[in-house]
């Protein structure tokens, strides 16, 4: 649960420390650059709720009374599942797909070619049935996400009572009311079968890429309201995936259409990074990277494709959770790369999940990921690191099937599947201006 220091805790809750952004400025300004990125984080903050799955197999080098070396006992709760997955299945776990008709990817899910699905476009009353179809009989529990921010970006406003935009939220609600609103909304999402949400928005500013999707111009206001939203999502049974790192609230272009350039690293540390640092310190489980160039860090590449950009998130800000790319069909990426090429480069750069769009593209991208492992472009060690983070995000402990509880859904899965059968058409996203499906 993402808690505020001043919030009361639920049963079993653990308080998380939150710094004011003034403190965060001092901390970010004090970090030293290693190459193009910084490398240390403050040692006095413990992020609760985000475990580092890569290091969970460490154990004390002591000997038990029976003479067994405790260090030889593997205590990694993710290993029982990881060890049963083929390379093809591992590649599937790091590949998630956005689609207007989730039932269209049910076969891909059962075959282990994808590990998650996100809903695009407006969804109707059959969405619970579609989720049942896509989550049934999978070896590893599926992540089922949507793009629910409120205002102009919400896919379920015909199924659940609509939410106000982020900007309207700060003008009309308190943080307590914001949390309560998101708890109620997320409970409804979980009841339909969703497990995650591509929100909250942590960007500072109302530039052309976001407008009313941002909470505020003041980083502290963004922190207060975004973390209240994340608290509510978590309490309602939905895992938040905060976005869009490194922050595009002041960008003068929209990555849906073209590559975005943001401020220098020093300027980002003074403003855009502050909500991300606060969310990380509060235990946010996942962060979405976006297609933005940091001029003095990423060598002309977007953060999503840049090892130096991802290192900022891992090393400078100390994030140990799941990193998901923004949609790889956006114009900022599609102008230069296919989704297959982008997915491989995203994993090489250090993202854990490549988020593609369109059910018709799954086989090609999955094949490209498997081939990249086979030829050494992506090492299996590197792949395993990301798969473990995916499993940890899903709550898998022990055997693959022992993931976080899948909500019971209602609806006629057979009807949904039949409606989705036949030729798959190229999906469109009205938010993206009628371009092939993407999300924000």
Residue from 149, 324, 292 nearest 229 by CA: 149
Assign 248 to helix, strand or coil: coil
Which of 126, 316, 326, 429 does the annotation list as catalytic? Answer: 326
Cα–Cα distance for residue pair 129/159, rounded to 1 Å: 13
- Beta carbons of 440 and 213 less than 8 angstroms apart: yes
C-alpha span between 115 and 437 (Å, rounded): 19
* Separation between Cα atoms, residue 117 and residue 110, nearest integer Å: 12
Q: Give the CA distances from residue 177 to residues 86, 185, 233, 247, 278, in Å, rounded to whole numbers and listed in that order.
A: 46, 12, 13, 25, 20
Distance CA 170, CA 2 (A): 19
DSSP string of 264-278? -HHHHHHTTHHHHHH
Cβ atoms of residues 298 and 306 within 8 Å: yes
User: Pick the catalytic residue: 256, 281, 352, 438?
Assistant: 256
Indicate the angle between helix axes 127-135 and 175-192, nearest 10 degrees.
60
326 annotated active-site: yes
Closest CA to 120 of 430, 433, 354: 430
Nearest CA among 398, 227, 395 for reference residue 321: 395
The CB density around residue 426, as the number of other CB atoms within 10 Å, is 11
Q: Are 260 and 303 in contact (CB under 8 A)?
A: no
Quickly list DSSP for 158-219: TTSPPPPPHHHHHHH--HHHHHHHHHHHHHHHHHHT--EES--B---S--TTTGGGS--SSH
- Residue (of 191, 95, 177) closest to 140 by Cα position: 95
- CA-to-CA distance for 274 and 247, rounded, in angstroms? 10
Helix boundaries (H) for 350-379 = 362-374
Q: Is 438 part of the annotated catalytic residue set?
A: no
In three-state secondary structure terms, 292 is strand
Could you check whether the bond before residue 200 is cis, i.e. omega within 30 degrees of 0? yes
- Annotated catalytic sites, by residue? 256, 326
């Amino acid at each position: 649960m993402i808690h505020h220091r001043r919030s009361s805790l639920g049963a079993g809750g653990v308080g998380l420390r939150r710094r004011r952004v003034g403190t965060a400025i001092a901390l970010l300004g004090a970090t030293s650059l290693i190459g193009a990125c910084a490398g240390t984080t403050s040692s006095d903050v413990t992020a609760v709720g985000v475990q580092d799955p890569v290091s969970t197999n460490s154990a004390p080098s002591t000997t038990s009374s029976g003479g067994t070396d405790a260090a030889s006992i593997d205590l990694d709760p993710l290993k029982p599942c990881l060890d049963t997955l083929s390379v093809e299945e591992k590649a599937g776990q790091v590949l998630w797909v956005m689609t207007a008709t989730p039932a269209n990817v049910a076969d891909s899910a059962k075959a282990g070619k994808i590990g998650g699905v996100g809903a695009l476009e407006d969804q109707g009353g059959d969405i619970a049935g579609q989720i049942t179809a896509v989550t049934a009989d999978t070896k590893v529990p599926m992540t089922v996400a949507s793009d629910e921010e409120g205002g102009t970006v919400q896919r379920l406003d015909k199924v659940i009572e609509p939410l106000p935009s982020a900007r309207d939220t700060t003008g009309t609600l308190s943080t307590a009311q914001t949390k309560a609103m998101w708890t109620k909304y997320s409970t409804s999402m979980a009841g339909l079968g969703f497990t995650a949400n591509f929100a909250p928005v942590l960007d500072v500013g109302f530039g052309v890429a976001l407008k009313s999707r941002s909470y505020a111009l003041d980083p502290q206001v963004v922190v207060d309201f975004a973390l209240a939203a994340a608290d509510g999502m978590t309490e309602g049974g939905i895992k938040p995936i905060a976005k869009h790192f490194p922050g595009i609230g002041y960008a003068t272009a929209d990555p849906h259409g073209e590559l975005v350039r943001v401020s220098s690293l020093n300027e980002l540390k003074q403003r855009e990074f502050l909500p991300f640092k606060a969310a990380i310190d509060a235990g946010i489980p996942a962060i979405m990277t976006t297609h933005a160039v940091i001029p003095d860090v990423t060598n002309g590449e977007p953060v999503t494709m840049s090892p130096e950009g991802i290192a900022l998130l891992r090393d400078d800000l100390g994030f140990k959770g799941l990193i998901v790319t923004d949609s790889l069909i956006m114009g900022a990426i599609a102008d230069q790369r296919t989704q297959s090429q982008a997915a491989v480069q995203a994993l090489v750069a250090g993202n854990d999940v490549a988020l593609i769009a369109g059910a018709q593209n799954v086989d090609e991208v999955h094949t490209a990921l498997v081939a990249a492992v086979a030829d050494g472009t992506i090492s299996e060690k590197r792949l395993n690191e990301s798969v473990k983070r995916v499993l940890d995000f899903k709550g898998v402990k022990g055997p693959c099937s022992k993931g976080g509880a899948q909500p019971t859904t209602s609806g006629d899965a057979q009807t949904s599947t039949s409606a989705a059968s036949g030729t798959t058409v190229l999906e469109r996203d009205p938010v993206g201006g009628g371009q092939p499906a993407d999300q924000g």
